[in-house]
Amino acid sequence: MSTVKFYQATEQVPLEMHKVRVVQKLFLPPVEERVKHMNEAGNNTFLLQNKDVYMDMLTDSGVNAMSDNQVAAMMQADDSYAGSETCNRLVKVIREVFGTEYFLPAHQGRACENILAEAFVKPGDVVPMNFHFTTTKAHITRLGGSVVELVRPVGLEPKNNEPFKGNFDIDALKQVIRETGAEHIPFVRIEAGTNLIGGQPLSLENMLEVAAVCKQNGIMTVLDASLLQDNLYFIKTREEACKHMTIREITRTLCDQMDLIYFSSRKLGFARGGGIVSNNEKLILKMKEFIPLYEGFLTYGGMEVRSMEAIAVGLLETMDEEIIGQGPQFIEYLVKELDAYGVPMIMPAGGLGAHINATEFLQGMPHGEYPAGALAAALYIAGGIRGMERGTLSEQRDPDGTEHYAELELVRLACPRRVFTLSQMKYCADRVKWLYDNRQLIGGLKWVEEPAVLRFFFGRLAPIGDWQERLAAKFRQDFGDSL
């Protein structure tokens, strides 16, 4: 991995190892219009119109910049319904990268989760994982299963120096297996890295230990590799035993011990699609029939063939240390900039994005007023920046209707790979700092329309009181006629 130092230490910033050749015009509405747009969207950043967003930091899913080689590869796509050469090229790359013989295509990661759940989860089953993801949990619970989270306690501490906060508690995993019985555990899911606790990675050592425990107990190991590229970067840079391994060597060492691997190419591969891979033909055959039923034929699985060509190139680019380093380096820059100012951040910096600790940012706000959702709404008003609530709004209510409060109330500022410039990151930091200095103006939210499942995607809320108008007035007082 290249090291580039600036002559003046005070000017040390992340250095992009790429150049920009295609641009897209952005717009920044005035603050008064941002208040209006936020309320039209039901104070849900998912429902904002992108034309009204200056920095879209909602997610890294499907919004990463593609390389020139990916765009070029899209021109050779073979759109045959069956027997497509595009599929053959993608399978060849998957075998090279993951070392797996079999591939089932799907249109994105949650489609893979649906197929996994349909094939293996039955009522009363328990699925251990380091931490849940929203759609993963929903697919398991709708089929009568349940999820148990086994991340080590240090992983839920907002700020510490632990390099691998996503690691499994191995002793807890062994205890769950003893108490539940291996026959009631269809698989153990490893999420590398861990989305809902700040994109925190797992060490290679920990994941291999999980796989060993599963093998000893005859339990299938499933790797969610959607955020694998950031996790690979952290293994390479933070895990002493892996510093002299290549990214390819780390990937194969991990994947060789997994029974099933699934991924969203909207994250891994810089394109749009997904898939399930394995060396176990028996497991693949158990899932195979669900592909034409839910997704599409076995040569495209609901993906557009041009995207499949882009994925093939993108997976190979994921093995390039220079390419996968850009995202984590930009995130680390933003986290350090905000932490130095006093803004409560999840540390150390993880993958996917910078994460603000909304509980500490808005001290005293009750969980029931959704501090992470309120802070995300306030940030859009302050800067036209669309972040994402990753707290209680992203949970689902308990069966009796009571609110299930999240372990962490976070606002994620996702950093799509190769998309933002450093000046835009500086702008983001500036607006968060201003908001932190005026945090006493931020109030809570209440439900107006609450869906029963995955409510954070399309539910609507309203501000409690007139805090948004007062926040906009303070912005205008401080910034004058500036947008």
| Residues with catalytic roles | 81, 133-134, 224, 267, 390, 456
For residues 126 and 99, what is the distance between their CA atoms, to the nearest angstrom? 29
For 392, the enclosing helix (H) or strand (E) is: none
Q: Which residues contact 376 (CB under 8 A, 6 or more apart)?
A: 45, 387, 388, 389, 411
Half-sphere exposure of 450 toward its Cβ, with a 13 Å CA cutoff? 14
Q: Which of 478, 434, 433, 435 is nearest to 340 (CA)?
A: 433
Q: Which residue blocks in 99-227 are alpha helix, DSSP H?
A: 109-120, 134-142, 170-180, 204-216
Task: Provide φ and ψ at 221, rounded to 5°.
Answer: -105, 125
Half-sphere exposure of 305 toward its Cβ, with a 13 Å CA cutoff? 18
DSSP secondary structure of 228-274? HHHHHHHHHHH-GGGTTS-HHHHHHHHHTT-SEEEEETTTTTSSS-E
**Direct distance between the N- and C-terminal alpha carbons of the chain, in angstroms, rounded to an integer:** 39
State both tokens at 346: 């999840």
* Residue 413 CA, distance from chain mean position: 11
Query: Do you find a cis peptide bond into 193, omega within 30 degrees of 0?
Result: yes
For residues 119 and 89, what is the distance between their CA atoms, to the nearest angstrom? 27
For residues 225 and 52, what is the distance between their CA atoms, to the nearest angstrom? 32
State both tokens at 340: 């130095």
CA distances from 41 to 315, 332, 458 (A): 35, 30, 9
For residues 98 and 254, what is the distance between their CA atoms, to the nearest angstrom? 9
C-alpha torsion angle, residues 410, 415, 421, 422 (rounded to 10):
50
**Do 216 and 184 contact (CB within 8 A), yes or no?**
no
**Do 202 and 192 contact (CB within 8 A), yes or no?**
yes
For residues 164 and 240, what is the distance between their CA atoms, to the nearest angstrom? 12
